[in-house]
Amino acid sequence: MANFQLFQSQRGKQVPAANARNEAGGLAYQRTPQGALALYAATGCLNGTIYADAQTQLEKVLELCGKVPAEFIAKTAVYARQRGHMKDMPALLLAWLAQHDGALCVQVFERVVDNGRMLRNFVQIVRSGTIGRKSLGSRPKRLVKQWLERADVNQILHAAIGQQPSLADIVRMVHPKPADAQREALYAWLIGKPHDAANLPELVQRFEAFKRGEGQGEVPELNFQYLTALPLDTQQWKAIARRASWQTKRMNLNTFLRHGVFGDAALTKEIAAGLSDAAQVRKARVFPYQLLGAWNAASADMPQAIRDALQDAMEIATENTPALPGNVVVAIDVSGSMHSPVTGHRKGATSALRCVDVAALVAACIKRRNPAARILPFDTEVRSTVINARDSVITQARQLAALCGGGTRVSAPVQKLNQEGARVDTLVIVSDNESWADTRRGNGTATMREWHALKVRCPNAKLVCIDLQPYATSQTGTSADVLHIAGFSDAVFDLLADAANGERDWLQRIAAVKL
């Protein structure tokens, strides 16, 4: 008789054969070129991760660009910038279009290059020679010139913060045509050439006077970074804090604390009100994980009003977390590889927030909106924890992230559900997908085998896999009931709602972008 262990009958559909190995050496499924490029665009920051350095990521993205239609690249660039709020990857895709499909580059340029930081990113990438050229070329040069000529004074001054290249470098490259004497003086001031100071914009004149110590010490309404190198007293720091943008306030709370800003009770109340203002939070396009980072980094002496405001802002930033149907389970990867910074390693610019922090935050947000949801943290086994649905999102996320450590077995939570005979309608797995502890010879991955077993018991169940890192493989294939989304902006919650309700999946959202 045939070997029973090899040929035993299995319930449910045949598990699809795994066709790849992931970076950790485990069995996996290769994503389609479109799926892989979309994943890289939503999660890749062109920095080193645990399993792939920055150069490897870059080479993979360029390889994928050669395998998909240019129109999909253009739509992905727009989606990654406008919905994913990414910076480097949309600029890279736009630079690829500048080299390979200039007409599409023109179509989406203004939607991707929506501020001075993105303009400098685009120019830096094109000029690097990585895409195949070291000069801007006539069409990209014209687009950059048009951006400069259309930008107002505030946009120009904001764009002038930063190097490699600086805005002055870009002005020298493209030679924008000044529309009037004021713009001519501004360009000259930017690049350090002689100019008529009387023709400078009023704001720049006030800044120059402030640097000379003239006037009555009134701080000009310039970006925070123009002023911090100057000797400022407490009153001037208060003026800066009062006028700072929402994001600047979030990023510099400890700085304000050190300079006595929060010694003023009325101003503290005012700043707290701004931080928790719903309209300002939405306009700032803040990542939920950035709020968690601000909370974690806040000094022990930070006023309670500011801490409360950060928690209120988190509730607003995650308000589009959907109510999911039926029995909801969220499995979050707390294995050792999830220690990796969510935006990758880059010398001098590595985020303190890890993948596990973001995974925990997603779980906490779902729990907040779906109090009966079950949370299953896992490494090689499911970890025991009790989450209080009434705790704040930040408190829940910190509790879950504290479990981080161990190997990776993505199949562990699905196996536990099967062992319990649990009823499941929506299963969400948040992971970097670098599963290796459940690797074995055979057709499919252990996760896919367990999922098929669960589907026998719960035929209408849906599996949503949220990927946090730019790797081209997954532990599950894609099907009508297995959906993949990626990223760490609040767009993840919109996609999760779509997936749970059987509406457009992630790639369909990108395909629906109008050019």
Would you say residue 501 has pLDDT above 90?
no
User: Is residue 383 located within the same domain as residue 239?
Assistant: no
Decide which of 202, 226, 248 is a domain's last residue: 202
pLDDT surpasses 60 at 2: no
Residues 42 and 171 in one domain: yes
Residue 74 has pLDDT above 70, yes or no: yes
Neighbours of 474 (CB within 10 A): 29
Last residue of a domain, one of 159, 185, 202: 202
pLDDT above 50 for 5? no
Number of Cβ atoms within 10 Å of the Cβ of 196: 11
R_g (Cα) of the chain, nearest Å = 25
330 & 271 share domain: no
User: pLDDT-derived band of residue 3, with 50, 70 and 90 as boundaries?
Assistant: very low
Examine the domain organization and report whether 349 and 479 are in the same domain: yes
Same domain assignment for residues 481 and 349: yes
C-beta neighbour count of 296 within 10 angstroms: 15
Q: How far is CA 375 from CA 268, 331, 369, 386, 433, in A?
A: 37, 6, 13, 8, 18
pLDDT band at 413; cut points 50, 70, 90: very high
Task: Answer for the pair 378, 331: CB distance below 8 angstroms, yes or no.
Answer: yes
Domain span at 110: 33-202
- Is 50 exceeded by the pLDDT of residue 150? yes
For residue 6, pLDDT beyond 50: no
Whether residue 353 is found in the same domain as residue 492: yes
Residue 492: which pLDDT band, with cuts at 50, 70 and 90?
Answer: confident
Last residue of a domain, one of 317, 351, 384: 317
Please state, in angstroms and rounded to a whole number, the distance separating the CA atoms of residues 225 and 486.
33
Q: Is 465 inside any structural domain?
A: yes
Residue 506 pLDDT grade (very low, low, confident, very high; cuts 50, 70, 90): confident
Q: Is the residue at 207 inside a domain?
A: no
Q: How many domains does the chain have?
A: 3
Domain membership of residue 437 (yes or no) is yes
| Mean predicted confidence (pLDDT) in 353-367 | 86
Crossing angle between the packed helical segments 355-369 and 491-500, to the nearest 10 degrees: 50
Q: Are residues 412 and 497 in the same domain?
A: yes
Q: Let me know if residue 114 belongs to a domain.
A: yes
Q: Does 9 map to a domain?
A: no
- 421: domain CATH number? 3.40.50.410
d(CA 48, CA 469): 11
**Average pLDDT rounded to a whole number, residues 424-446:** 87
Q: How confident is the model at residue 347, as a pLDDT? A: 62
Whether 63 and 184 map to the same domain: the answer is: yes
- In this structure, the answer to whether residues 483 and 368 fall within a common structural domain is yes
**Residue 22 placed within a domain:** no
| Partners of 464 in the β-ladder | 428, 483
Q: What is the mean pLDDT of the chain?
A: 87
At 191-203, the pLDDT tens digits run 999 999 999 999 9
Q: What is the pLDDT of residues 306-329, one digit of tens each?
A: 999 999 998 888 877 888 889 999
Same domain, 331 and 443: yes
More confident of the two residues 223 and 199? 199
Look at residue 8 in the predicted model and tell me its pLDDT: 46
- Note whether residue 223 is domain-resident: no
Query: If you average pLDDT over each of 76-85, 109-118, 379-388, which comes out highest?
Result: 109-118
In this structure, are 306 and 327 located in the same domain? no
Cα–Cα distance for residue pair 142/122, rounded to 1 Å: 13
**Residue 345 confidence (pLDDT):** 63
pTM listed for this prediction: 0.86
Regarding whether 496 and 355 lie in a shared domain, the answer is yes
Which percentage of the chain shows pLDDT scores above 70?
Answer: 93
User: Which of 40-44, 370-374, 503-507 has maximum average pLDDT?
Assistant: 370-374
Distance CA 252, CA 240 (A): 11
DSSP string, 431-491: E-----TT--SSSS-HHHHHHHHHHHH-TT-EEEEEE-S--SEESS--BTTEEEEE-SSTH
Closest CA to 27 of 334, 338, 444, 409: 444
Does residue 2 belong to any structural domain of this protein?
Answer: no
How far is residue 32 from each of residues 37, 64, 472, measured CA to CA in Å? Answer: 8, 9, 8
Q: How many residues does the chain have?
A: 515
